[in-house]
Structure 1
């Protein structure tokens, strides 16, 4: 049997007995790590190995490791630049911008794979409309074709390192001021406007380039009253139908304020799965996660399980020390270190 459809988080730097039991639940499919789960590369390798050892085939281990403000593991890892820094280079020299984006994708993925992490929820495909503080410099650019070009190069680097890519936040979080961690944002633009702008990067990358997509906890009022992550229209008719996307769909965290109006945690998970999500994330709320696991213990979606198997990482898990001996690592590290300096972390 493949992975289940629920992704959980952990409290600390090693597994507790209760967490080990939850990992063995048939509906558990993966674990997402945060900064609180990291102490050192050696500790992280041991934690990931313990998670992988809990099940066969092993559970997926994921992290938000974009660079800039959103990089969960710092000391011992390369300080990666925010995506906007790559966009700034692209504006001056498009070829150099794409080269750096490919190096950034490879370096991010290679360092995570070296300690066993299967994948990062990256890249961000949102447009920087100058409105959203929570997106901001996490976006490559304000122009959709520039985002598409940079993201394609970034994903090529990820693939070279053995990692599948997840584009977020479909159909675009950059057009609202509100932060969906704190409230349910409202985007009043028409479908035609969104299709002409924010959706273009997803459309450019949907044909076999992206292995996964994460929808936004945003309500696009002129299109559907349900937020995108709970919307059959956005996920079924637009993403699967119009864009022809065949990869996996991951919900954004169901503990975010943008999901609260749906109801309790099982209601949120049920609505996301019914809308078309293949895996739901339940973070920072162990009781809610346990309730979701119990409610959906008998739920099975063979197609979703097949889609999710693509996210098992490939390639070396030989440790960061051995990786740093490679000329490719030294070149990418040197090129990207300056761009990644002096960027404070934001817990988003």
Structure 2
């Protein structure tokens, strides 16, 4: 693998439109992207069209890269779901967490994961490992499985097991915790206050448990934790390497949240952000919309790797972790008749019925 390919496997980008742009296809073919993340702008309710889009990403990918390209989507449930019906629609994580039923949550996630696998995805960026500890949090809220470390840990890891049973890789987010903020990192730079002992007892607890459980991937938060560092977590070596790798023992791939979000984009150009995030310990950089920004980030990584042998070694380490994610076996279903038997099929209908019963109980103020 060339240096350009090594650095390219550290970038996961997005694009506009419901078909793969030729520009993005060329970047995939050159090995300069690890795959793609799809949003609502990219998908329709036609499951065959979604399947064809993911197939085009696989077909365009460089043969020099290990395994299948990463094809990702944010399909948590509730208000964060890019794919609509007939894909299985999940309630917010808070409603699942309130059941305190790990087997049920695992079964729900496996049903969702089976549909996503059939459609050609390799991951849903889930579960949320944040704890809903701030009542005025504008971005987490009911995306969290609960309000305590114990509930979030149990329910989120059950969800991760379900995704992994279906063959996807789970990606817990947003390390080291976005639940106690008053600002949304899409638009501002949030801060989580509290001493280190409190952070370890509350925010870090689900991530520590996920690391012990061998979760495949985690995603960073663009949040400042003054008790740990004065930099946002995505750009902090203390948080991404010293604590996550050396203290918590995480061995999977660490993804940055989208580097186009204002919490970090306001700090520096994308070139510098990409280098700083990798030096901090991120292995795969999300740049979710701007293809030109993706190209600039790639060029910056190559330039720094050419200039500094230590950075080149860091890139090789990161690429090796991403290669583990890409090595997972894919089982996409291209035949329409078989696809519709899976997406919205018998397994999903059974889970949907259970979810409807759950919603009825919730409406009556009861628990399952």
- Cα shift at 1:133: 1.9
1:1-348 correspondence runs (5 A): 1=1, 4-39=9-44, 40-55=46-61, 56=63, 57-90=67-100, 97-129=101-133, 130-297=135-302, 299=305, 301-312=315-326, 313-314=328-329, 316-318=331-333, 320-323=339-342, 328-337=347-356
Tell me if structure 1 keeps the 8 A contact 2:112–2:348: no
Q: Deviations over 1:85-125 (max 9, x none)?
A: 012222xxxxxx21221022112211110111111110000
- State the partner residue of 1:94: none
Q: Flag as ranges the 4+ runs of structure 1 deviating above 4 A.
A: 324-327, 337-341
What is the TM-score when the length of structure 2 is the normalising length?
A: 0.86
More helix by share: 2
Tell me if structure 2 keeps the 8 A contact 1:131–1:174: no
Tell me if structure 2 keeps the 8 A contact 1:78–1:337: no
**Which SS does the other structure have where 1:310 is aligned?**
helix
Q: Deviations over 1:117-150 (max 9, x none)?
A: 1111100000011231200000000110111111
Tell me if structure 2 keeps the 8 A contact 1:9–1:31: yes
Structure 1 stretch displaced more, 127-136 or 322-331: 322-331
- Cα shift at 1:290: 1.8
Tell me if structure 1 keeps the 8 A contact 2:233–2:240: yes
Q: Are the structure 2 counterparts of residues 317 and 133 from structure 1 closer, same or farther at C-alpha, using a change threshold of 3 Å?
A: same
What is the TM-score when the length of structure 1 is the normalising length?
A: 0.91
Matched residue count: 335
Tell me if structure 1 keeps the 8 A contact 2:219–2:255: yes
**Which SS does the other structure have where 2:35 is aligned?**
strand
Tell me if structure 2 keeps the 8 A contact 1:324–1:330: no
Q: Which runs of 5+ in 2 are unaligned?
A: 306-311, 361-368
User: What value does the CA root-mean-square deviation take over the aligned residues?
Assistant: 2.0
Q: Are the structure 2 counterparts of residues 227 and 325 from structure 1 closer, same or farther at C-alpha, using a change threshold of 3 Å?
A: closer
